[in-house]
Amino acid sequence: MNSTATETRIDKIVTTKSNKKKVFIETYGCQMNFADSEVVLSILKNNQYEKSENAIESDLILINTCSIREKAEINIRKKLSAYKKLKKNNKIKIGVLGCMAERLKKKFLEEEKIVDLVVGPDSYRDIPNLLDKVGNNERAINVKLSKFETYEKIIPERINSNKVSAFVSITRGCDNMCTFCVVPFTRGRERSRDPKSILNEIHLLEKKGFKEVTLLGQNVDSYLWYGGGLKKDYSKASSLQKKTSLRFNNLLEIIAKEKPKMRIRFSTSNPQDMSDEVIEAISKYRNICKHIHLPFQSGSNKILKKMNRLHTREEYLRLITKIKNKIPNCSISHDIITGFPSENDEDHLDTLNLMESVKYDYGYMFKYSERPGTLAQKKFTDNVPMEIKNIRLNEIILKQKNHSFFRNQQYLNKIVCVLIEKESKKSDEFWSGRTTQNVVVVFSKKNFSLGDFVDVRVENCTSATLIGDGLRISKDI
Contacting positions for ligand 5AD (CB under 6 A): 68-69, 180-181, 295, 297, 335, 337, 366, 368-369, 371
Omega before residue 244 within 30° of 0, cis:
no
* Chain centre distance of CA 237: 30
In the complex, least distance from residue 176 CB atom to ligand SF4, rounded to whole angstroms? 4
Nearer to ligand 5AD, 297 or 408 (CB): 297
Q: Rounded to the nearest 10 degrees, what angle do helices 276-284 and 248-258 cross at? A: 10
**What residues are paired with 417 via a beta bridge?**
455
Taking CB atoms, the residue at the shortest distance from ligand 5AD is 335
Stretch of residues binding ligand SF4 (CB under 6 A), selected from 119-127, 174-182, 404-412, 430-438? 174-182
Nearer to ligand 5AD, 205 or 303 (CB): 303
Sign of the CA dihedral with 186 first, then 188, 190, and 191 last:
negative
Closest CA to 47 of 143, 129, 115, 154: 129
Choose the contact partner of 174 out of ligand 5AD, ligand SF4, none; CB within 5 to 8 A by kind: ligand SF4
In the complex, least distance from residue 30 CB atom to ligand 5AD, rounded to whole angstroms? 6
The CA–CA distances, whole Å, from 275 to 249, 324, 437 equal 8, 14, 20
Residue count at the site for ligand SF4 (CB under 6 A)?
10
Single residue of 183, 198, 251, 319 touching ligand SF4 by CB under 6 A: 183
Nearer to ligand SF4, 184 or 433 (CB): 184
Nearer to ligand SF4, 62 or 178 (CB): 178
Amino acid occupying residue 70 = E
Single residue of 37, 165, 176, 374 touching ligand SF4 by CB under 6 A: 176
Determine whether 98 is exposed, middle or buried from the number of CB atoms within 10 Å of its CB (0-12, 13-18, 19+).
Answer: buried
Choose the contact partner of 24 out of ligand SF4, ligand 5AD, none; CB within 5 to 8 A by kind: none
β pairing state of 93-97 and 165-169:
unpaired
Q: According to the binding rule CB under 6 A, does residue 32 interact with ligand SF4?
A: no
Nearer to ligand SF4, 29 or 184 (CB): 184
Nearer to ligand 5AD, 248 or 368 (CB): 368
Alpha helices in 68-166, H assignment, sequence order:
70-88, 98-104, 106-111, 127-135
- Cα–Cα distance, 29 to 40 (Å, whole number): 16
In the complex, least distance from residue 295 CB atom to ligand 5AD, rounded to whole angstroms? 4
- Cα–Cα distance, 359 to 86 (Å, whole number): 48
* Chain centre distance of CA 340: 24
Sign of the CA dihedral with 51 first, then 97, 77, and 391 last:
negative
Choose the contact partner of 337 out of ligand SF4, ligand 5AD, none; CB within 5 to 8 A by kind: ligand 5AD
Nearer to ligand SF4, 95 or 341 (CB): 341
- What lies within 8 Å, CB to CB, of 342 at 6+ separation is 302, 303, 306, 380, 383, 384
Q: How many other C-beta atoms are found inside a 10 Å radius of the C-beta of residue 151?
A: 22
Amino acid occupying residue 145 = L
Q: According to the binding rule CB under 6 A, does residue 174 interact with ligand SF4?
A: yes
Q: According to the binding rule CB under 6 A, does residue 178 interact with ligand SF4?
A: yes
Choose the contact partner of 270 out of ligand 5AD, ligand SF4, none; CB within 5 to 8 A by kind: ligand SF4
- Cα–Cα distance, 324 to 362 (Å, whole number): 16
Q: Which of residues 192-251 bind ligand SF4 (CB under 6 A)?
A: 218-219
Q: How many other C-beta atoms are found inside a 10 Å radius of the C-beta of residue 365?
A: 19
Q: According to the binding rule CB under 6 A, does residue 119 interact with ligand SF4?
A: no
**Cα-Cα end-to-end distance for the chain:** 63
Single residue of 92, 96, 181, 278 touching ligand SF4 by CB under 6 A: 181
Q: Which of residues 245-304 bind ligand SF4 (CB under 6 A)?
A: 270
In the complex, least distance from residue 300 CB atom to ligand SF4, rounded to whole angstroms? 17
DSSP secondary-structure letter at 3?
Answer: H
Nearer to ligand 5AD, 66 or 417 (CB): 66
Sign of the CA dihedral with 281 first, then 284, 285, and 291 last:
positive
Choose the contact partner of 259 out of ligand 5AD, ligand SF4, none; CB within 5 to 8 A by kind: none
Nearer to ligand 5AD, 22 or 309 (CB): 309
Nearer to ligand SF4, 221 or 421 (CB): 221
Query: Which residues form the interface with ligand SF4 (CB under 6 A)?
Result: 174, 176-178, 181, 183-184, 218-219, 270
